[in-house]
């Protein structure tokens, strides 16, 4: 059976041929890492290529302010723990991924910080005016995702960041769902990204881009050897070493050097246009299927290529399994690591069936998914199955 992949919000299914070729050539030649071997000097060049391409995508003027970690989760842990201080009040949204919610909750349970979850609408958007009302004297940071990984909704980040700036707040923007698929340059102090989603790199690579203010205020929280300033028990005071302890994931970084260059070449405007058109088409088709509820905005111009649905009386996990087993369609069901977003959408604890699209999705696939869903739900209605 032909497989149709509709789970891009979790991870891209394949790297591009150029990325695969570069990785094969690299791995046939060496497994050495920058800073640990003389030959590793070449890898510093690879990292610089990756930093430069990502800096261009993110609108960061100095490539050394793009830092690599094992993923968005590690980047968020480093940024939140490295920036927050005892007594800080933090604003975050009610659609955060657990990669944000759990570190904040841990800091809050330890009595270190106080978190306020700003209520988003059931469709996953945030009224920026809420920030004015929530700011207190000790508010130090606003954290938010660029787009919800459950509902696809793009949050009004421009307005929110501008309000945060009025109050001098530090801003952390989780761009896991938008890096590589939406035009990005924007003024956050920290942008945290995953390498394996829209950026189409390997799993196990990600990172964060930081403003000059964040560099000055962030303590290295994840620490260790850097192959530099080794006489000192403190982390180096220069970038990128200050925030990049441990042996680098050179294949991961190489994958990003090549894929980010490809994305720059294609342009995020055209990637966005293509994905929005596919999403609009899918939403249109869904509206014609009796028994489907679309969560989120239901408007492709206000969301990324992520569409969560439910069918009252049906378990989302069972629907996902039947789509896979009977039609070869790969989706993701349940809570998508974001119980907060599901509570916000009113879909907790059952969750939703999430479709998400990307670089290789075609119109034919959208049609096939629509037909499969229609057939599944029609059959279920006739025979009382769920």
- From residue 312 to residue 351, the character string flagging contacts with ligand PLP as x (rule: CB under 6 A) and all else as - is -------------------------x--------------
Counting residues that bind ligand PLP (by CB under 6 A) gives 13
- In whole angstroms, how close is the CB of 50 to ligand PLP at the nearest point? 16
Figure out which of the listed residues 99, 104, 131, 164 binds ligand PLP, where binding follows CB under 6 A: 99
Nearer to ligand PLP, 149 or 311 (CB): 149
The dihedral over CA atoms of 170, 175, 176, 181, expressed in degrees to the nearest 10, equals -170
- In whole angstroms, how close is the CB of 120 to ligand PLP at the nearest point? 13
- In whole angstroms, how close is the CB of 193 to ligand PLP at the nearest point? 9
Q: Is 194 in the site for ligand PLP (CB under 6 A)?
A: yes
- From residue 200 to residue 219, the character string flagging contacts with ligand PLP as x (rule: CB under 6 A) and all else as - is ------x-------------
Figure out which of the listed residues 125, 171, 177, 316 binds ligand PLP, where binding follows CB under 6 A: 177
- In whole angstroms, how close is the CB of 239 to ligand PLP at the nearest point? 22
Figure out which of the listed residues 4, 113, 169, 174 binds ligand PLP, where binding follows CB under 6 A: 174
Figure out which of the listed residues 176, 257, 258, 294 binds ligand PLP, where binding follows CB under 6 A: 176
CB 270 within 8 A of CB 242: no
CB 356 within 8 A of CB 9: yes
Residue 172: DSSP 8-state: E
What sign has the CA pseudo-torsion 121, 123, 127, 130?
positive
Q: What letters, b where the CB count within 10 A reaches 16 and e where it falls short, cover 120-138?
A: beebbbbebebbeeebeee
Rounded CA separation 46/49 (Å): 5
- From residue 127 to residue 166, the character string flagging contacts with ligand PLP as x (rule: CB under 6 A) and all else as - is ------------------x---x-----------------
Rounded CA separation 320/235 (Å): 47
Backbone phi and psi for residue 21, each to the nearest 5 degrees, phi listed first: -60, -45
Q: Is 255 in the site for ligand PLP (CB under 6 A)?
A: no
User: Within the chain, what is the greatest distance between any pair of CA atoms?
Assistant: 74
Backbone phi and psi for residue 92, each to the nearest 5 degrees, phi listed first: -135, 170
CB 40 within 8 A of CB 32: yes
Q: Rounded to whole angstroms, what are the CA distances from 239 to 118, 217, 335, 351? A: 33, 14, 37, 42
DSSP per-residue codes, 45-69: HHHHHHHHHHHHHHT-S-GGGEEEE
- Among the listed ranges 23-31, 70-78, 306-314, 355-363, the one in contact with ligand PLP (CB under 6 A) is 70-78
Nearer to ligand PLP, 99 or 340 (CB): 99
Q: Is 71 in the site for ligand PLP (CB under 6 A)?
A: yes
Nearer to ligand PLP, 170 or 176 (CB): 176
Q: Is 275 in the site for ligand PLP (CB under 6 A)?
A: no
What are the CB-based long-range contacts (under 8 Å, 24+) for 380-385?
380/311, 380/314, 381/290, 381/291
- In whole angstroms, how close is the CB of 118 to ligand PLP at the nearest point? 16
Rounded CA separation 193/70 (Å): 10
- In whole angstroms, how close is the CB of 313 to ligand PLP at the nearest point? 28
- In whole angstroms, how close is the CB of 385 to ligand PLP at the nearest point? 31
- Among the listed ranges 33-41, 69-77, 210-218, 227-235, the one in contact with ligand PLP (CB under 6 A) is 69-77
**Cα 166 off chain centre by:** 26
Residues that bind ligand PLP (CB under 6 A): 71-73, 97, 99, 145, 149, 174, 176-177, 194, 206, 337
């Amino acid at each position: 059976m032909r497989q149709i992949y509709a789970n891009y919000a979790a991870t891209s299914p394949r790297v591009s041929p150029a990325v695969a070729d570069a990785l094969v050539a690299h791995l046939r030649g060496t497994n050495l890492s920058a800073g640990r071997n003389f030959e590793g000097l070449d890898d510093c060049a690879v990292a610089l290529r990756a930093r430069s391409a990502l800096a261009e995508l993110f609108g960061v003027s100095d490539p050394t302010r793009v830092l690599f970690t094992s993923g968005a989760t590690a980047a968020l842990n480093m940024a939140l723990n490295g920036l927050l201080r005892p007594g800080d009040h933090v604003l975050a949204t009610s659609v955060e991924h657990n990669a944000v919610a759990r570190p904040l909750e841990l800091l809050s349970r330890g009595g270190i910080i106080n978190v306020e979850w700003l209520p988003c609408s059931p469709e996953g958007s945030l009224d920026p005016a809420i920030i004015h009302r929530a700011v207190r004297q000790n508010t130090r940071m606003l954290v938010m995702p660029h787009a919800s990984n459950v509902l696809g909704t793009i949050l009004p980040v421009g307005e929110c960041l501008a309000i945060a700036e009025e109050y001098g707040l530090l801003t952390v923007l989780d761009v896991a769902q938008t890096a590589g698929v939406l035009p990005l340059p924007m003024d956050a102090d920290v942008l945290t990204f995953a390498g394996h989603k829209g950026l189409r790199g390997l799993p196990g690579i990600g990172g964060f881009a930081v403003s000059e203010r964040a560099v000055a205020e962030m303590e290295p929280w994840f620490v260790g050897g850097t192959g530099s300033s080794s006489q000192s028990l403190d982390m180096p005071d220069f970038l990128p070493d200050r925030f990049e302890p441990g042996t680098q994931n050179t294949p991961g970084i190489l994958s990003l050097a090549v894929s980010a260059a490809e994305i720059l070449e294609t342009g995020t405007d055209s990637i966005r246009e293509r994905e929005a058109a596919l999403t609009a088409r899918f939403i249109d088709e869904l509206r014609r299927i009796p028994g489907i509820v679309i969560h989120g905005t239901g408007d492709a111009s206000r969301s990324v290529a992520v569409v969560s649905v439910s069918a009252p009386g049906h378990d989302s996990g069972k629907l996902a399994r039947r789509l896979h087993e009977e039609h070869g369609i790969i989706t993701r069901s349940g809570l998508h690591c974001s119980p907060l977003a599901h509570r916000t959408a009113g879909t907790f604890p059952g969750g939703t069936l999430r479709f998400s699209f990307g670089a290789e999705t075609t119109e034919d696939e959208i049609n096939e998914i629509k037909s499969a869903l229609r057939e599944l739900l029609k059959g279920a209605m006739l025979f009382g199955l769920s």
